[in-house]
Amino acid sequence: MSDSIESVLQENRRFPAPSAAAARMAKWLVPSMSDYKRLHARSISDPEGFWGEVAKELHWFKPWSKVLDWKVPDAKWFVGATTNVCYNCVDRQVEQGHGDMVAIVWEGEPIGSGGRPDIRRLTYNDLKRDVSKFANALKALGVKKGDIVTIYMGMVPEVAIAMLACARIGAAHSVIFGGFSTQAIVDRVLDAKSRTIITCDGAYRRGSVVPLKESVDAAVAQLAQAGHEVKNVIVHSRVGNQTAWHSGRDHSFKDLLLASSDQCPCEHMDSEDMLFLLYTSGSTGKPKGILHTTGGYMVHTYLTSKLTFNLIPDDNQLYWCTADVGWVTGHSYILYGILPNRVPTLMYEGAPNAPKEDRFWDMIARHKVTHFYTAPTAIRAFMKWGDEHPKKHDLSSLRVLGSVGEPINPEAWMWYHETIGSSRCPIVDTWWQTETGGHMITPLPGATTTKPGSCTLPFFGVDAAIVDESGNEQPHNTGGLLVVRKPWPGMLRGVYGDRERFIQTYFTRVPGMYFTGDGARRDADGYFWIMGRVDDVINVSGHRLGTMEVESALVSHDAVVEAAVVGMPHEIKGTGIAAFVTLAPGSEPASPADADKLKNALREHVSKEIGAIAKPDQIRFTPALPKTRSGKIMRRLLRAIASGDAKITQDTTTLEDYTVLAKLRESEEA
């Protein structure tokens, strides 16, 4: 962590909000720093007044009696009100006369024989019709308000239809990223006690097909053995994969649409009714179901989408977020925050290098994308692939560039600014989490002077601070824990089924405050610089993984008795995964070739248990792990070894066995 402090301290470049380029825009919604400061001060001193006014921009069936009810750790926003998120995303636009306007532009990955990919444009009318039909189909299958529906699909318009249909009838969805394994489906379905799964026959990814339905079939079989029955599996046919068909249980997405009425009124949902669960990794145990509710999440994602990206309807805007809907970014900033702003949202099915490394830039030029939101790990890959790819395309439609998911290193920031944004597009480096629902610390493009590598200043209503363990604010440029001291509308309302874990994880380390798990510092201008996680969570390519999850996966292999997993610097991924593994007696490899074979087998095993993103980048076999006298694994030491820091300067006097250290240093890298 000290390295990152030094590197950011050297960063003193400033990029003022571009008033000259502003002429290209209809207007900046927050046009100056003084506007930001005035509105932020108001949002903190009078959060109820501030958020109450914002909420009135959306539709409610019944108004609230009180904007906020807060008793640590429980927040209730828009108390007593009823609304429907799907109504605000879709029906409201139709009712206001915009039914023929495009809501979603979708592009498939494969390039057809005519040299063109599939493109579909869904208007608000189309969405209303298909979402209503699918909502009726779910009801006919017995799905009721309050049920949890699992969604495990590729990036196709049907995933948006499925999510919105759940919201329409008041069923919560639990979307599982299509890159996760069978075991991950089993864990999440069981935890949520979900009885309906919506999937695809397969998904296109970098020219090959990911067999989603097969993973679901295997998961359902495993679940049955565990005594949990999945009643319905709905299958959207995307790739024409012939998969086993379980009649009675399996249903065709298309046939359900054909058979259903397109009239389905939106359920009146209490503001605090569950909207969705999204599982995310923590420092202990299996991934936890982060619970988001209706009213506050809707208002928070609506306003952050509008102001962070400067979304304005009827301004020739086309917004593109490259995330997968399996992550919170896809929930909040492909769908739920964008659709109520009536700016079309582009969904892309596949990989950035399919068929070639210029796919994204080609898409930006062809579709005239105005807003582009991606992750630093992707930006680093683009840099590595070379400038010739973006240089081939006309990127002059771009107006605002966004970054999310992990700290963006100043070098990547500058490349994004110059090579993609032609030094004229503001960059919004948005800090937030699955738990926060929406943006928390971010520049506003018309107001904030940016500094490469800093996510800058808190969004409206966000009282973020850097504190020590007792909650005292740290002086400028002193690292500490990043906390949020007051509730905000999009905050998680719990960990599904585990009240204790909710309190322990978020409200115990710094009493009375929400603890983010991140370390950060603030500079003399009040700008935030995120230094990374301070718990046993690592951020691999912008995806969160618990080191313990990977350890458990390794230990579940017969050849492994003990494993310790730590993060290590990685050029593209930001953080890579290093695993130190102690083998069971008799499993030790006889030759270097055997060792490689075993390492590959372990990687595959982790991929099967969790998903390909969790495969260790480096595995070292070691006869023992370094532990303190009380038996705790010395992770700091392992991190130093994994990152190639040969002279280990850390205090090792409590090492139980000094020889372990020497052996570890000797252990061969993968």
Binding stretches for ligand PRX (CB under 6 A)? 280, 328-329, 404-407, 429-434, 455, 516-518, 530, 533, 539, 544
Looking at beta carbons, which pairs linking 536-540 to residues 24 or more positions away fall under 8 Å? 536/283, 536/284, 536/635, 537/281, 537/282, 537/283, 538/566, 538/567, 538/575, 538/577, 539/405, 539/406, 539/567, 539/574, 539/575, 540/567, 540/570, 540/573, 540/574, 540/575, 540/576, 540/577, 540/613, 540/614
Distance between CA atoms of 295 and 292, rounded to whole angstroms? 10
Pairing mode, if any, of strands 400-404 and 371-374? parallel
Distance between CA atoms of 558 and 552, rounded to whole angstroms? 12
Q: What is the 3-state secondary structure (H, E, C) of 503-529?
A: HHHHHCCCCCCEEEEEEEEECCCCCEE
Q: Least separation, in Å, of the C-beta of 262 and ligand PRX? A: 35
CB atoms within 10 A of CB 632: 11
Which is nearest to 35 in space by CA: 455, 523, 446, 522? 446
Q: Least separation, in Å, of the C-beta of 117 and ligand PRX? A: 27
Q: Least separation, in Å, of the C-beta of 481 and ligand PRX? A: 12
- Closer CB to ligand PRX, residue 294 or residue 456? 456
User: What's the token pair of residue 264?
Assistant: 């389905």
Which is nearest to 346 in space by CA: 331, 363, 359? 363
Name the phi and psi angles at 147, rounded to 5.
Answer: -70, 160
Which is nearest to 402 in space by CA: 490, 337, 316, 351? 337
| Whether the Cβ atoms of residue 197 and residue 234 lie closer than 8 Å to each other | yes
- Closer CB to ligand PRX, residue 241 or residue 283? 283
| Whether the Cβ atoms of residue 90 and residue 164 lie closer than 8 Å to each other | yes
CB-nearest residue to ligand PRX: 434
Q: Least separation, in Å, of the C-beta of 283 and ligand PRX? A: 12
Provide the β-strand partners of residue 403.
Answer: 374, 429
- Closer CB to ligand PRX, residue 92 or residue 544? 544
Q: Least separation, in Å, of the C-beta of 240 and ligand PRX? A: 33
Provide the β-strand partners of residue 3.
Answer: none
Show the DSSP H helices in 175-320 as ranges.
Answer: 182-192, 212-225, 253-259, 295-309
Name the phi and psi angles at 520, rounded to 5.
Answer: -160, 170
Q: Least separation, in Å, of the C-beta of 401 and ligand PRX? A: 13
| Whether the Cβ atoms of residue 489 and residue 496 lie closer than 8 Å to each other | no
The gap from C-alpha 164 to its chain's centroid, in whole angstroms, comes to: 18
Distance between CA atoms of 467 and 475, rounded to whole angstroms? 9
For residue 141, what are the CA distances in angstroms to 135, 248, 249? 10, 11, 10
Q: Least separation, in Å, of the C-beta of 317 and ligand PRX? A: 22
CB atoms within 10 A of CB 121: 13
Q: Least separation, in Å, of the C-beta of 37 and ligand PRX? A: 22
Q: Least separation, in Å, of the C-beta of 455 and ligand PRX? A: 5
Q: Least separation, in Å, of the C-beta of 533 and ligand PRX? A: 5
Distance between CA atoms of 93 and 128, rounded to whole angstroms? 10
Q: Least separation, in Å, of the C-beta of 291 and ligand PRX? A: 14
Indicate the Cα dihedral angle 105, 365, 31, 295, nearest 10°: 20
Q: Least separation, in Å, of the C-beta of 277 and ligand PRX? A: 14
CB atoms within 10 A of CB 523: 16
Q: Least separation, in Å, of the C-beta of 302 and ligand PRX? A: 17
- Closer CB to ligand PRX, residue 238 or residue 573? 573
- Closer CB to ligand PRX, residue 173 or residue 288? 288
Is 107 strand, coil or helix? strand
